[in-house]
Amino acid sequence: MALSREDVARRAFLTPLREALPADWQVEETTVAHFDSLGLRVEPPGIKAHAEVAALTIIDNRVKDFRSFPGPGVPHYQVQTFDPQGDLLSLKVGCHVPSVVTTLEAWHASLLPHRAAAARPVTAKERAHLARVAKKLQQEQVEVVLDFDPDSPGHELTRRGRETLEQALASLDADTLGRHLPRGDDGRLVLKAHVLLVKLEGEAPGGRSLWLAARAPRIRKDGLVARLVVEGFVAENATHRWDTCPWLFQADARGALLADQCGLEPGDLGLLAEGQPDAPGEQGAGELTAPRRVALAVHLLDAGRFVEAYGLYDVSLDEPVCGRWTGCR
């Protein structure tokens, strides 16, 4: 059966990815379910699971188009990974072959029997990218502003929706959000990007759902300003959705999660970090069990206290290394 013009373009786009995957992986062309378009079915060795890769176009960093390809937007790969029972594990979108390969390799490794392995060294290209992002973060301060009236957000919210919005705004930390907003290879903010933060209960047109979202600048002249909006989105088409990782926009979210996992009260990590051994807790927060040591180390790293965090594991940092981090102490 002859391929359509769009599927011919999809095959050309998928070929570099197919060639970049390990030679012992089974990779076949398939019709991706739900989209009725040409894609790839990936089956690595050692596991009884598969992944599907579809070719799509993303328009204005927010709308996914599976029908026309390459279409008016930017071509992307959509990767769906499944467990051995056939249940969906993750859905990720990317436009760079190396990052898609990394995603598939990480999924493969997560399903293999556990075995200790040496960490992959950071490549020169990755170091350069991180250096550019770090430089921009040091030089730039992203301003976060409300683009709506909290008392009248422009959409009909239920009572629970209004309460959720109020709580979300109260817990949102502008510095944390600005630090994690999507950035490109040059370290600058991705223009027109939308990040879905918290889902709100209410009415939205066109079968969409209401979200508190952060909107990146439309053009560079708009400045380093992220605008908080309440708008209707098709969440399944969102490139950036953070409702399951609130630590990306709430300063205390990760600490609260870590404390809960380690049987601590939310304030105990702060007391431990300040060296107060009599902090409250079920077993006494001053008792550094292995899980609590991990939690405290992450808490200190988030606060920029690298020397203390590494010191928990008897690792010392010399001045040249420490000097690479702003505010290292």
Q: What are the domain boundaries of the chain? A: 5-111, 141-247, 252-322
**In this predicted structure, what is the pLDDT of residue 256?**
63
In this prediction the pTM is: 0.49
Q: How does DSSP assign 225-276, residue by residue?
A: EEEEEEEEE-GGG-SEE-TT-GGGT-TTHHHHHHHHHTT--TTHHHHHHTT-
For 61, how many CA atoms within 13 A lie in the half-sphere containing its CB? Answer: 19
Alpha carbon distance 10, 55 (integer Å): 6
Question: 10-residue block means of pLDDT along the chain (329 residues)?
Answer: 82 93 93 82 92 88 77 88 89 89 91 69 82 76 87 85 92 88 84 92 85 92 90 86 86 64 59 48 50 73 72 67 48
> 291 and 261 in contact (C-beta within 8 Å)?
yes
**In this predicted structure, what is the pLDDT of residue 11?**
92
> Coil, helix or strand for 208?
coil
The label of the residue with tokens 């939205």 reads 204
Residue type, 269: L
| Bridge partners, 92 (sequence order) | 79
Residue 223's region, left for phi above 0, alpha for psi from -120 to 50, else beta, is: left
**In this predicted structure, what is the pLDDT of residue 277?**
42
Alpha carbon distance 162, 201 (integer Å): 8
Alpha carbon distance 113, 120 (integer Å): 18
**In this predicted structure, what is the pLDDT of residue 284?**
38
Torsion of CA 112, 117, 121, 126, to 10 degrees: 20
- Angle, alpha carbons 237-10-60 (nearest 5°): 35
**In this predicted structure, what is the pLDDT of residue 259?**
62
Between helix 290-302 and helix 253-261 the angle, nearest 10°, is 170
C-alpha distances in angstroms, 183 versus 177, 178, 228? Answer: 12, 10, 17
Q: How far is CA 117 from the centre of its chain?
A: 25
The label of the residue with tokens 């040496």 reads 118
**In this predicted structure, what is the pLDDT of residue 275?**
54
**57-94 residues labelled b (16+ CB within 10 A) or e (exposed):** bbeebbebbbeebbbebebbbbbbbbbeeeeeeeeebb
